[in-house]
Amino acid sequence: MGRKRKNADSGEDQAEPPTKNHIPSTPMPEGVHHYETIDEVPWDLQKYWHQGYSIFSKYDEGIWMTDDAWFGVTHESVANTIAQHVAEMAPPNKSIIIDAFCGVGGNTIAFALSGKWKRVYAIEKDAATLACAKHNAEIYGVADRITWFHGDCFEILGAMDGRTSKTVDALKAIAGQFGIIFGSPPWGGPSYRNADIFDVDSMEPYTFKHLYESFKNVTPNVVLYLPRTSDLRQIAKALDGTKKTQIVHYCTRGSSRALCAYLGEWETLKS
């Protein structure tokens, strides 16, 4: 039998399974997992698996993950704080939020739980990852507040020069008038941790400039979730120098985990 994992909050083994929401019993797609013991977990994911309750407090209720998602998912406490800040700082006429890289749903779920938005729109390019996000939103009881899109966010939002056959014109129209975009893009893998100052101009597969220039074609109000050591000079250089930009660090256990750049017209963060 594999070793039990300790709940990060209580420090005790979970002797009894938690009460589960009624989630449809559907088979996991290829590439999707719910690891229950350390013996099932690939060696390079084991330290992340031990943080599972920090990532999703309802992990034991059947959270789905892809192996890649363990590296990039926003921890729940950070996602909830970001959702609170975005709700507080958003201009009063904004009523929808678009999670452009929704992944397995960490930030999307937090936005839906915040109660701020008339609708949360979530976009994910990878089908297995999107299946995880939909399933996880069911576990948190917010799936009915979210509209899902499978595909490239730049194409779906019409963020590039000219529309494509995959552009959702209605979404682009309401995003321009009532929406903000939140983007937690890939950072190029876990090697970003080795950089004293992270080069956002060489971030893969999308540079900061590409993200900002593309998304502002849809709405001026953009939030980008970036490595904590991101070069702030590069961020400032890519923006309109006549405006101030708020940069907020998000921490767990006393250390910064990442930062958000609030781009466009935002209220000043008070909390």
In the chain, the domains with their CATH numbers are 76-263 (3.40.50.150)
Q: What's the pTM?
A: 0.89
- Which range, of 63-77, 121-135, 145-159, 233-247, averages the lowest pLDDT? 233-247
Q: Residue 74's closest CA among 47, 50, 102?
A: 102
pLDDT of the residue at 190: 63
The answer to whether residue 270 scores a pLDDT higher than 90 is no
With a pLDDT cut of 70, the percent of the chain lying above it is 86
Residues 134-156, mean pLDDT to the nearest whole number = 97
165 pLDDT band (50/70/90 cuts)?
A: confident
Joined tokens for residue 270: 């008070």
Given a cut of 70, whether residue 132 has pLDDT beyond it is yes
Q: What is the mean pLDDT of residues 116-140?
A: 97
pLDDT at position 6: 55
**How distant, in Å, are the alpha carbons of 4, 17, 37, 50, 73 from that of 12?**
10, 13, 15, 13, 24
Region 21-32 average pLDDT: 75
Q: Indicate if the pLDDT at residue 9 is higher than 90.
A: no
Q: Say whether pLDDT at 195 is over 90.
A: no
pLDDT of residue 230: 95
Terminal-to-terminal C-alpha distance of the chain: 46
Buried b or exposed e, range 137-153, using 16+ CB within 10 angstroms: bbbbebbebbebbebbb
Please determine, for residue 172, whether its predicted confidence score (pLDDT) is greater than 70.
yes
Instruction: Return all residues near 40 (Cβ < 8 A) that are at least 6 apart.
Output: 2, 33
Separation between Cα atoms, residue 75 and residue 79, nearest integer Å: 6
pLDDT surpasses 50 at 1: no
**How many residues are present in the chain?**
271
Asked if 271 and 88 count as a contact pair (C-beta separation under 8 A), the reply is: yes
Q: Which residues contact 50 (CB under 8 A, 6 or more apart)?
A: 5, 38
**Measured between alpha carbons, how far is 98 from 179 in angstroms, rounded to an integer?**
7
Least confident of 76-80, 147-151, 160-164: 160-164
In Å, how far from its chain's centre is CA 242?
29
Average pLDDT over residues 26-32: 90
The pLDDT score that the predictor gives to residue 252 is: 81
pLDDT digits (tens, 9 = 90+) for 84-123: 999 999 999 999 999 999 999 999 999 999 999 999 999 9
